[in-house]
Structures are given as C-alpha cells and as structure tokens.
Amino acid sequence: MYRLFLPSEYVKNVFRVTPEKLKENGIRGIITDLDNTLVEWDRPDATEEIIEWAEKLKKAGIRVTIVSNNNEGRVKAFADPLGIPFIHKARKPMGHAFRRALRQMGMEKDEVAVIGDQLLTDIFGGNRSGLHTILVVPVSSKDGFVTKFNRQIERRIMNKLKRNGLLDWEDVK
C-alpha cells in the first residue's frame, strides 16, 4: 500500500527536472501541479525562473500540461500567459484528469512524468495511473486549508517510508 506513495524520483525543485534528464528516461511530456510545485499557492503569476524553465522545455519539444485541483480562474490566469494547457478542478488523486492530460498531449503513459509537491494527490494519483512520478520540495511552507490537513497525513506516510528505508528526503538532489 505505501509503495503507491513512493515517487519514482524526488528532487529539490522543478529546475532540477531538465529536458536532458527527461529525454534520457524517454519522457516527452510533463503533467505538473501548480500550487507549491511551480510557485507559492498564493502567487498569481509565474516567476521569471518558471517562465525560463517552461521555455526550455518547449524548445526541447517537451510538452507540458498543468493539472491542478484549484479553480479555473486561478489556473487559467497562471497558465494562459505561458501558453500552457491546463486542467482545473482535477480531483487528484482520481485518475480522470491524468488520463485526460495524456489524451490532450497525444502521449502514452511511459512517455509522461508527473511533477508535484504532494504525496496524497500528485504522487499517489500519478502512480495509480502508471506514470513516472517526481516529488519536489514544496516551494513554500505555507499552504491552503485542505493542504494543511493533507500535509499532516503526508508526514506520517513519509516517516513510514523513511523507517522502511524507501525514502531519504534529506538526500534530495
């Protein structure tokens, strides 16, 4: 059961996810969370670093789709200026939004990675959908109401994974 919460890999932030590393693993597409993965949950716009990262991915032919549990207004305001397609109110960890993103990108499961900061939504949902999952350290220690509750559960899961020698969060790249 706990293995469904184990990411395929874990990195400090999205900037460690490079087109070169993705292509080495046969990854041609990314499904990424928005809040506390790309920017703080209360930051409306992309930072300059995120804009540059997204451009590098596009230039390398890596397709990106934002899949967020947040509302349309929030996600659209962030994604549209970047020219990135999105799925809002995704209801992660349910698999529908992941399957929809795969169809929109025209890709197979083994060609796509899921990037996110939460075990309960992004990693669990991506793993259940048979996708490569990449856990990142949250951009901010501040969270919205529901996420605060999820983080308490995640700490217990992470501690269990660490005790079983499956995850060593301190060795994040």
Q: What is the pLDDT along the chain (173 residues), one digit of tens a residue?
A: 678 999 999 999 999 999 999 999 999 999 999 999 999 988 999 999 999 999 999 999 999 999 999 999 999 999 999 999 999 999 999 999 999 999 999 999 999 999 999 999 999 999 999 999 999 999 977 766 667 777 788 888 888 888 888 776 555 55
The pLDDT of residue 158:
80
| Overall domain count for the chain | 1
In the prediction, which pLDDT does 156 show?
Answer: 84
Rounded CA separation 119/123 (Å): 5
What is the pTM assigned to this prediction?
A: 0.90
- Residue recorded with tokens 């660490």: 162
Query: Which residue reads 């048979």 in tokens?
Result: 130
Q: Provide the residue range defining the domain that includes 155.
A: 2-171
Whether 125 contacts 109, CB under 8 Å: no
pLDDT reported for residue 152: 81
Q: Are strands 86-87 and 63-67 parallel, antiparallel or unpaired?
A: parallel
Both structure tokens of 36: 């506390």
pLDDT confidence of residue 22 = 97
Q: Spell out the residues 6+ positions from residue 159 whose beta carbon is closer than 8 angstroms to its own.
A: none
Q: Are 134 and 9 in contact (CB under 8 A)?
A: yes
Residue 145: alpha-carbon gap to chain centroid: 19
CATH number at residue 133: 3.40.50.1000
Residue-level length of the chain: 173
Say what the pLDDT of residue 155 is: 82
The predicted pLDDT at position 125 comes to 97
